[in-house]
């Protein structure tokens, strides 16, 4: 396993360069299998876990199923000091009886000061920990003043129950403005931004705010210098939920276009030349880019996880990376 530092100064933490996503742990992935996956990840040197307060509600759970399961695993294995836990808040339903919507009329919890404080403390309880290493706003909330959201995250950091803060599914200008607002308030800014990023890329869409655009990556590259607190980019769904290797998996909305199909062909050719899998090549491409990102990988079995772990030490020769980039 390889590692990198996220955050700055007293808030800095070291995490593994692969983050294990736990979205369906406790629902689609049963407890025995989940424990085996978590055990294998830690055995391989993995230290970074990612969850949320609402994931499992999408597949018949109550929402915090994966937080609960991680909490039981931590208590049983006694490994709290060896892992860094990230969770998210703000995207659960505000009214459970209505459909989830983050567009008007909205029905999501949002990022008000009251929600941030309440849901963070609930996550502490469900995880069975005294500190959340990384707390993300799961979606942007333009109905709440940005200053209120930033202050709420800053308060949790000041209390010591949150280490680093971050945001997901937000436009670049909102990320920049939130970090500037933190500077004005004298609190630590967002240290991570979690967006969708993979080898394929979606068709241009001005309304797509969950994509790690080249502009976001360029902004992240400019940070980590004096006066510019560092910002790490975390990539969710880097493997398009298996669509690179499974014909039965449809491409995400916006990804089904000729360039994606050409990139998939190139990806498979490069993987065959390297004796690797397409998934391993995608992850190596992300890890070794000009702006390295932290991929969040999901696995429903130990065998799947072992395949993904193989990407950590896979180096793409310059000529093969250039061929992938040129498509």
Residue 153, C-beta contacts closer than 8 angstroms, at least 6 positions apart: 116, 135, 137, 162, 165, 187, 190
Strand partners, 166: 136, 192
Distance CA 274, CA 221 (A): 29
Burial classification of residue 67, based on how many CB atoms lie within 10 Å of its CB (0-12 exposed, 13-18 middle, 19 or more buried): buried
Distance CA 275, CA 232 (A): 30
Q: How are beta strands 13-16 and 294-298 bridged, if at all?
A: unpaired
DSSP of 90-136, one letter per residue? S-S-SSTTS--BSSSSPBS----HHHHHHHHHHHHHHHT-S-EEEEE
**Alpha-carbon torsion (201, 280, 307, 273), positive or negative:** positive
Query: What are φ and ψ of residue 160, in 5° steps?
Result: 85, 10
Token reading at 14: 């070291």
| Of 3, 55, 219, 236, catalytic | 55
Distance CA 297, CA 50 (A): 9
Q: Is 55 a catalytic residue?
A: yes
Where does the chain have alpha helices with state H? 31-43, 65-77, 113-127, 146-159, 172-185, 214-221, 258-274, 278-287, 302-309, 318-326
Could you identify the residue written with the tokens 């629902």? 27
Angle in degrees, CA 40, 312, 240, rounded to 5: 85
Burial classification of residue 318, based on how many CB atoms lie within 10 Å of its CB (0-12 exposed, 13-18 middle, 19 or more buried): exposed
Active site positions, annotated: 55
């Amino acid at each position: 396993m390889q590692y990198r530092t996220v955050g700055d100064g007293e808030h800095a933490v070291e995490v593994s360069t692969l983050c294990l996503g736990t979205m369906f742990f406790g629902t689609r992935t049963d407890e025995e299998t989940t424990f085996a996956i978590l055990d294998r990840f830690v055995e391989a040197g993995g230290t970074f876990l990612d969850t949320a307060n609402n994931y499992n509600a999408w597949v018949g759970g109550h929402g915090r199923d994966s937080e609960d399961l991680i909490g039981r695993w931590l208590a049983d294995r006694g490994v709290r000091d060896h892992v860094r836990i990230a969770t998210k808040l703000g995207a659960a339903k505000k009214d459970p009886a209505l459909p989830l919507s983050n567009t008007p009329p909205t029905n999501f919890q949002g990022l008000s000061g009251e929600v941030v404080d309440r849901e963070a403390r609930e996550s502490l309880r469900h995880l069975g920990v005294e500190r959340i290493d990384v707390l993300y706003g799961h979606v942007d909330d333009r109905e709440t003043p940005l200053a209120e959201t930033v202050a709420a995250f800053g308060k949790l950091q000041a209390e010591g129950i949150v280490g680093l803060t971050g945001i997901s599914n937000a436009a670049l200008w909102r990320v920049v403005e939130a970090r500037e607002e933190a500077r004005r308030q004298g609190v630590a800014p967002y240290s991570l931004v979690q967006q969708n990023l993979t080898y394929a890329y979606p068709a241009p869409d001005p309304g797509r705010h969950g994509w790690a655009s080249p502009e976001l990556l360029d902004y992240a590259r400019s940070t980590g210098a004096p006066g510019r607190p560092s910002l790490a980019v975390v990539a969710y769904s880097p493997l398009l939920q298996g669509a690179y290797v499974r014909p039965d998996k449809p491409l995400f909305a916006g990804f089904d276009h000729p360039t994606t199909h050409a990139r998939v062909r190139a990806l498979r050719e490069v993987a065959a030349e390297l004796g690797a899998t397409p998934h391993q090549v995608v992850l190596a491409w992300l890890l070794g880019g000009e702006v390295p990102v932290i991929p969040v990988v999901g696995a429903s079995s130990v065998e799947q996880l072992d395949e993904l772990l193989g990407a950590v030490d896979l180096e793409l020769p310059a000529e093969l990376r250039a061929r992938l980039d040129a498509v």
